Amino acid sequence: MLVSKSRDTSLLRSSEKQSLTRFLSLYIFLVIILVVLLSTFYYQSQEQLMLSNQRTILSAYADKQVKNLKILHHYFPTRSEYPRDQHYESAIYDIERVLIFSTLKHPTIDFEHEIYRTGNKIHFMRYLDEYYLGAKYLFIEIDEDRDWYRETLIQIVVLGGVTIFILGIFGLFFVRLFLRPMRQSIELLDNFIKDTTHELNTPISAILANVEMMDQSIMAPRNLKKLSRINVAAKTVSHLYQDLTYLVLGHQTQSHDEWVDLQELIKSRVEYFTVLAHSKHIGFELQLEKKKIFMDSAKIARVIDNLISNAIKYNKRYGKIKILLTEEYFMVADTGIGIEKEKIPGMFDRYSRFNESEGGFGIGLNIVKNIIEEYHCDIEVDSVVNQGTTITVYFNQGAKRV
Amino acid sequence: MYKKAGLIFLLSMALYGENQWMTDKEAIESSDVYMRNCIPCHEYLPSTLERMFMSYLKVYSGEFTVKESLKAYLRNPDRDMSVMSELFLDRFGIKYKTDLSEQELEEAVNIYWNKFNVRNKLK
């Protein structure tokens, strides 16, 4: 699964962004429904207003036509020409709603409404008290003036758009307000880490330096084993310290890019972690081609360290770690516990961990992600639960390389 | 001579008149139930059958309602059910109850409707 391709400079974590997006989507959806409903009511009220304005004139036309029908009824069949008028069309229906005669241009008839729009016409219905020529229903038809329609549509679009925009701004404000407690708790944790990091440096450096300085050739095997454990524990804490240092200070400092021999760097980092890996009887399998990359050596070291460290941490005892380096990518595969596919996108979030049984702050992969994005590389995670995880870093092919 | 000629003329006229009477009788007998049963009486009334139809149309409007009301009136003529004016009824009264069978009555009313229906005559 391809996790990230674009550089993300936002301070929001992906879970925070997800909450923001979901809330805003739902909010905007509800706002749109509200606006559509209000627009519909407004449109209907404008339509009724227009029809009310036309009712008077249509009623006058109907009176005129009734008078004409009365005359025709009286003289029928001597006169048989249906009365017509240049201002309107008309139709007559009998009590059984059967058409007697019609000059309507739009023949769709609605007996249930006195006045209504059909096509581009307005129909007005009048009940006749005396059924001249057998007509009980008289329909008068005139052309609809479309100006009201255009004006209403423009008003709906403009007012609706402005309403959605303003309510959207409010929504954004509210969602930030709601997310503030979550953000504050993250900031609190960040500050805590920042403060404790300063206190870690001196004791860790002292332990590691003294372990290195010890003359192991004169030590009893039992003490050697104890020293090895101290070394592993100190390196674990040292690794954590380096991650924390990067987190607190690293991303704030300028990158010092240089040509880095990745093959050599990986070898040295593997050697560094060998003691740690052996504590769980984990073996390394290296297939490293020659590769140089133009990057900040400290940052690429953080990437490698974190991937190897995780591969050890989440591996099984007597497991294996395979590291592959080619011209295009760098891959670390373990035979560990794996992770469910749906959890993969969230594993790069800060303070997220594979599982709670292992220690750590859950910041390692977040650092990896940030560095990868800074250098426009891609990272791909493939994992099968109880079989292992493979993480591949694809180098930016546009970047300088040898 | 003149008397003989006059006698022959009168005999001829009498024979012609008898032949003519036979022709009208045959015509009525061979015509439809409407012609046989409606025309003979109504032709003596001042209001034509067509005007009466228009009066029915003005009161009952539709084909079904006109026909049903007409049949109901013909079966049981009633002053209150009549569409004619008070003046007309005072002068000519109401008709006798029809002695036509249901089928004949139905046929007569259908012919009457088709003959004076306005729908196909409006232009």
User: Is pLDDT above 70 for A189?
Assistant: yes
Here the ipTM equals 0.73
The boundaries of the domain holding residue A348 are 254-394
Give me the residue spans of the domains in chain B. Answer: 1-30, 32-116
Q: Does B66 sit within 8 Å of A134, measured CB to CB?
A: yes
The C-alpha atoms of residue B3 and residue B14 are separated, in whole angstroms, by: 16
Q: How far is B55 from chain A, CA to nearest CA, in Å? A: 9
Q: Exposure of A221 by Cβ count < 10 A (0-12 exposed, 13-18 middle, 19+ buried)?
A: exposed
Residue B44: band (very low, low, confident or very high) from pLDDT cuts 50, 70, 90:
confident
> 3-state DSSP helix/strand/coil percent for chain A, to nearest 5?
55, 20, 25
Asked whether the beta carbons of residue A80 and residue B50 sit closer than 8 angstroms, the reply is no
pLDDT for A356 equals 55
- Lateral strand order in the sheet of A115-118: A99-102, A89-93, A137-143, A121-127, A115-118
A134-146 pLDDT per residue, tens: 999 999 999 988 8
pLDDT digits (tens, 9 = 90+) for A81-108: 999 999 999 999 999 999 999 999 988 8
The pLDDT of residue B14: 45
Task: Tokens for A307, please give them.
Answer: 């991937």
Element of type H or E holding A99: strand A99-102
Return mean pLDDT, chain B.
77
Residue A244, token pair as written in the block:
């924390």
- Which has more confidence, A201 or A87? A87
CA dist A48 and A114 (Å) reads 12
> Going by C-beta distance under 8 Å and a sequence separation of 6 or more, which residues neighbour residue A284?
A270, A274, A277, A320, A321, A322, A323
**Cβ–Cβ gap A132/B58 under 8 Å:** yes
CB atoms A80 and B64 under 8 Å: no
Q: What is the pLDDT of residues A291-343, one digit of tens each?
A: 888 888 888 888 898 899 889 988 888 999 999 999 889 999 999 888 888 88
Neighboring chain A residues of B123 at a CB cutoff of 8 Å: 80-82
A95: chain B residues, CB-CB within 8 Å: 60-62, 65
The span from the CA of B63 to the CA of B56, in Å, is 10
**pLDDT of the residue at A302:** 85
Instruction: Please judge whether A77 and B65 are an interchain contact, meaning their C-beta atoms are less than 8 angstroms apart.
Output: no
8 Å CB contact of A131 and B119: no
B48 near A CB under 8 A:
no
Domain boundary among A145, A175, A204: A145
B60 touches chain A (CB under 8 A): yes
CATH code at position A383: 3.30.565.10
Share of chain A above pLDDT 90, in %: 36
List A288's β-bridge partners, or say none.
A325
Given a cut of 80, whether residue A10 has pLDDT beyond it is no
Contacts of B65 in chain A (CB under 8 A): 95-96
Distance CA A102, CA A156 (A): 37
Place of tokens 């040509």: A259
Among candidates A300, A321, A310, which has minimal Cα distance to A393? A300
Residue A109 scores a pLDDT above 60: yes
CA-based R_g, chain A, Å:
40
Scanning chain B, the segments in alpha helix (DSSP H) are: 2-30, 33-37, 39-42, 49-60, 63-75, 86-92, 102-116
Res. A1: pLDDT tops 70: no
- A134, B61: Cβ pair inside 8 Å? yes
What value does the mean pLDDT of chain A take? Answer: 84
* A chain contacts of residue B69, beta-carbon cutoff 8 Å: none
H/E stretch holding A320: strand A320-325
Would you call A98 and B63 a contact, using CB atoms and an 8 Å cutoff? yes
Rounded average pLDDT over A29-41 = 92
Mean pLDDT of A248-264: 76
Residues in chain A with CB shorter than 8 Å from the CB of B119 are: 100-101
A73 inside domain: yes
A101 touches chain B (CB under 8 A): yes
Last residue of a domain, one of A128, A145, A162: A145
The whole-angstrom separation of Cα A214 and Cα A281 is 24
Scanning every residue of chain A, which has its alpha carbon at the shortest distance from the alpha carbon of B115?
A77
Specify the pLDDT at position A268. Answer: 87
In a domain, A168, yes or no: no
Work out how many domains chain A is built from and give that number.
Answer: 2
In a domain, residue A300? The reply is: yes
**B60·A73 Cβ contact <8 A:** no
Cα separations (Å) of A334 from A227, A268, A288, A384, B51?
A: 27, 19, 16, 11, 106
- A228 inside domain: no
**Over the stretch A339-393, which tens digit does the pLDDT of each residue have?**
888 888 778 776 665 565 555 667 788 888 888 888 888 899 998 888 899 999 9
Q: pLDDT tens digits for B83-121?
A: 888 888 888 888 888 888 888 888 889 999 988 888 888
A88 near A142, Cβ under 8 Å?
yes
Question: Distance from first CA to last CA of chain B, Å, rounded?
Answer: 64
- Chain B nearest-CA distance from A117, in A, is 27
Measured between CA atoms, the residue of chain B closest to residue A97 is: B62
Facing A95 at nearest CB: one of B50, B65, B122: B65
Helices A262-278 and A297-313 meet at what angle, rounded to 10? 30
User: Given this model, what pLDDT does residue A8 score?
Assistant: 37
Q: What Rg do the C-alpha atoms of chain B give, in angstroms?
A: 20
B60 to A135: CB separation less than 8 angstroms, yes or no? no
CA angle A116, A118, A123 (to 5 degrees): 45
